[in-house]
């Protein structure tokens, strides 16, 4: 999937690179405001960011895909309805509370859209709402409405999309921005999401802006194609979010691109953002790149890849740089045994970092190979755990992506000609610390 091979020595170096990615396509501005609030369900005050992305002119060329979770958030329900509207003029995004299954949640989202539309001089139906954060709590609309004017006043293209990339973050360690430039204009995308990530149609909050002049239908087709091959093949923790949303939106003020070049550029931006989301996944020490080939169809290849990437035991082995490839076979076998009993796996071949560890139905292991696999795992490590000051609460020692290397796992099953790549990550103390006490 990945199209870059970057390394960063510090947070400052990463930030300088992000700023270089952040230039907005023509026709868009972003504004962010932050304020303190207290949820009705918890005694502790918190800080919320409201991010507004606005087009100079509402545009009919927009596409959006949403979670398939059976309990979608209110903004997802509202957003699905917006797809039938003639044009999109603004997106209003809040973090901290995701507005999922809270009583009156849809009305709350619509109230925000109405006020944002009034401030921007566009209909409420031209505003797409998005929310991310705690599931279950009610959106503090009465505390948000007085803050909206500040976000609208802040609308600007001076710092490009970087303020929006920061405004939508929750547990993300750093903002994620990726771009592609074509002769006729550019595509720039941002993403948030570090946990509750195994998208089923789209990932939690991705916004892709372009000035390239493409039609609504072409944009929607290109987005579906790109998402299927990128965001839908990633997992951090198998928990498909209730808020997954990916939006692609063209201002149309640039030139008409070559259709194939546009699709490739959009897919590249989606692939790069997918890499970023996994690499910044909660507690991730290693990104796993699982390449399954020889499958009868893409669904089988993706299922086997995800079974490996989601195996708690294999995730822990990768975390420990432990060449426990037995757990790889366990993960393939549990999925095949439960879901694909007709697959003939007698010729299975497995390689880790290019080192063959299994072929023709049996392990091919010795001490030298185990050491080589360990060396490969260590080379792909983003950081090692640092003993926490309180003895219990692990925090990542880096807040930038040091490199773009991955643990590369090749699975050849010899049951067809289809291949697919799945991105996943290891399971670590930092993930446990992050999520055992997310809200307190």
Q: Smallest distance from the beta carbon of 257 to a second copy, in angstroms?
A: 34
**Whole-angstrom distance, CA of residue 251 vs CA of residue 88:** 10
Q: Which is nearer to a second copy, 186 or 321 (CB)?
A: 321
CA distances from 42 to 45, 94, 380 (A): 8, 18, 40
Concatenated DSSP letters of 330-363: HHHHHHHHHH-TT---TT-EEEETTEEEEETTEE
| First-last CA distance in the chain | 37
Q: Select which of 132, 170, 203, 235 is catalytic.
A: 203
Phi, psi (5° rounding) for residue 399? -125, 40
Q: Smallest distance from the beta carbon of 373 to a second copy, in angstroms?
A: 11
Cα dihedral 397, 398, 399, 404 sign:
negative
Q: Which is nearer to a second copy, 83 or 365 (CB)?
A: 365
Q: Smallest distance from the beta carbon of 135 to a second copy, in angstroms?
A: 2
Taking a C-beta distance cutoff of 8 angstroms, is the pair 233, 5 a contact? no
Cα dihedral 324, 425, 197, 289 sign:
negative
Catalytic residue flag (residue 203): yes
**Whole-angstrom distance, CA of residue 124 vs CA of residue 91:** 11
Angle between helices 312-319 and 326-339 (to 10 degrees): 160
Q: Smallest distance from the beta carbon of 422 to a second copy, in angstroms?
A: 16
CA distances from 126 to 73, 85, 86, 129 (A): 19, 7, 8, 10
Q: Which is nearer to a second copy, 9 or 392 (CB)?
A: 392
Q: Which is nearer to a second copy, 123 or 333 (CB)?
A: 333
Q: Which is nearer to a second copy, 94 or 268 (CB)?
A: 94
Q: Smallest distance from the beta carbon of 320 to a second copy, in angstroms?
A: 3
Looking at the annotation, which residues are catalytic? 203
């Amino acid at each position: 999937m990945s199209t870059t091979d970057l390394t960063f020595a510090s947070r400052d170096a990463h930030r300088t690179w992000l700023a270089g990615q952040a230039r907005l396509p023509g026709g868009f501005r972003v504004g962010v405001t932050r304020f303190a609030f207290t949820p009705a369900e918890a005694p502790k005050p918190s800080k919320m960011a409201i991010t507004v992305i606005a087009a100079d002119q509402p545009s009919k060329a927009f596409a959006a895909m949403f979670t398939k979770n059976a309990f979608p958030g209110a903004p997802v329900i509202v957003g699905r309805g917006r797809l039938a509207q003639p044009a999109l003029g603004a997106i209003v995004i809040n973090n901290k509370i995701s507005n999922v299954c809270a009583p009156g949640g849809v009305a709350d989202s619509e109230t925000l859209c109405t006020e944002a539309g009034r401030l921007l001089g566009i209909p409420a139906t031209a505003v797409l709402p998005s929310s991310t954060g705690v599931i279950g709590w009610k959106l503090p609309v009465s505390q948000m409405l007085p803050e909206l004017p500040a976000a609208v006043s802040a609308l600007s293209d001076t710092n490009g999309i970087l303020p929006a990339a920061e405004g939508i973050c929750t547990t993300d360690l750093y903002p994620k921005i990726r771009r592609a430039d074509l002769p006729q204009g550019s595509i720039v995308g941002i993403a948030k999401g570090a946990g509750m990530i195994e998208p089923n149609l789209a990932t939690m909050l991705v916004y892709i802006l372009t000035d390239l002049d493409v039609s609504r239908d072409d944009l929607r087709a290109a987005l579906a194609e790109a998402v299927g091959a990128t965001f839908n093949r990633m997992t951090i923790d198998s928990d498909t979010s209730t808020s997954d949303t990916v939006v692609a939106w063209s201002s149309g003020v640039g030139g008409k691109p070559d259709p194939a070049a546009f699709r490739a550029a959009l897919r590249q931006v989606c692939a790069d953002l997918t890499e970023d989301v996994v690499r910044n996944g909660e507690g991730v020490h290693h990104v796993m790149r699982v390449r399954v080939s020889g499958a009868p169809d893409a669904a089988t290849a993706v299922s086997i890849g995800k079974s490996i990437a989601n195996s708690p035991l294999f995730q822990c082995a990768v975390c420990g740089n432990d060449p426990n490839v037995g757990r790889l076979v366990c993960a393939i076998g549990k999925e095949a045994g439960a879901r694909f009993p007709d697959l003939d796996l007698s010729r299975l071949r497995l390689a880790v970092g290019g080192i063959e560890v299994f072929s023709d139905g049996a392990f091919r292991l010795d001490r030298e190979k185990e050491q080589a696999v360990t060396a490969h795992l260590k080379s792909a490590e983003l950081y090692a755990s640092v003993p926490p000051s309180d003895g219990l609460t692990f925090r990542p020692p880096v807040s930038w992506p040091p490199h773009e290397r991955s643990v590369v796992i090749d699975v050849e099953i010899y049951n067809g000609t289809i291949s697919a790549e799945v991105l996943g990550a290891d399971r670590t103390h930092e993930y446990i610390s992050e999520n055992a006490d997310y809200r307190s």
